[in-house]
């Protein structure tokens, strides 16, 4: 199962970054353009999506919340 994060929206597409463990180097990051109609309801920029071998997408709410908390903490630490 692949993990993706919605990086941004461009026109009718969600541009998603593949999440890897360990994180990929900048030159090795893979992006996917997914039609907005295929994105699960409630997903937005920064949301984590799971995609199974059949191509079915689902929103991973727990991973999304964890990533947002981590990013928020990093941003807060930049300003202190």
Beta strands in the chain (DSSP E): 2-10, 13-19, 31-35, 48-51, 57-59
- Is residue 51's pLDDT more than 80? yes
Query: Is 0.95 surpassed by the pTM of this model?
Result: no
Mean per-residue pLDDT, 30-54 = 95
For the chain, list the domains and their CATH numbers: 2-78 (2.40.50)
Residue 73's pLDDT band, with cuts at 50, 70 and 90, is very high
- 21-40 tens-digit pLDDT: 888 898 899 999 999 999 99
Coil/strand/helix, residue 37: helix
Find out whether 18 and 30 touch, Cβ atoms under 8 Å. yes
């Amino acid at each position: 199962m692949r993990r993706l994060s919605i990086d941004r929206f461009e026109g009718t597409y969600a541009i998603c970054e593949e999440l890897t463990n360990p994180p990929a180097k900048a030159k090795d990051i893979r992006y996917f353009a997914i039609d907005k109609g295929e994105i699960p309801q409630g997903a937005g920029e920064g949301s984590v999506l799971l995609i199974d071998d059949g191509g079915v997408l689902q929103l991973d709410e727990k991973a999304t919340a964890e990533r947002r908390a981590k990013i928020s903490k990093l941003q807060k630490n930049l300003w202190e």
